[in-house]
A and B are shown apart, each in its own frame.
Chain A
Amino acid sequence: EVQLVESGGGLVQPGGSLRLSCAASGFSFNTYWMNWLRQAPGKGLEWVANIRHDGYEKYYVDSVKGRFTISRDNAKNSLYLQMNNLRAEDTAIYYCAGQVVLATTKWYFDLWGRGTLVTVSS
């Protein structure tokens, strides 16, 4: 069974740090681009970052550049998101998602976890 399970969320004060993890199973993790997306309470979806299957390309949404770092460990079938200098507006459910790439502009998020909640508040 294909599964993505996020963990590491919680309550953190503004300016604090948190590291999210995503454990993958049931598919060839090391062949997938992987992503972090988030959803603020009652709001829509926002893509946060992604990483190439071998870890050598990484991209971020402008609002997290310099604060968040995406990484992966293919030997452990795991994806990570290190979040530093957290702000109230980072409060959201964070999802990891696997990306199927058919062509440069023909791709989609095929595999999703259930998410982990990050709350940034004093």
Chain B
Amino acid sequence: SQQGEEDPQALSIQEGENATMNCSYKTSINNLQWYRQNSGRGLVHLILIRSNEREKHSGRLRVTLDTSKKSSSLLITASRAADTASYFCATDANTDKLIFGTGTRLQVFP
């Protein structure tokens, strides 16, 4: 079974609302990353949080990490239609490769 699983699988909100996506993983990690993918395009790195960090911010993004629960959340505040995309978490699982989850598809309606 995969290392990272995002929840929910799909999320629809109105512009201006906040969007929260969760990621759970199974093994210990060195770091966890979040990526965004517009339909049929490559992934874009959003933020990296290390295993000794609990929270990190980047613009309208806020990521939390709870290593005791093996989970992370990505919060997008004041969402915009342009935030419509799929969002993936990726963990290194203490190996030298990234393992991606299946993603959350976010739809932001104007």
User: A and B: partners?
Assistant: no
Interface residues, chain A, with chain B CB atoms under 8 Å away: none
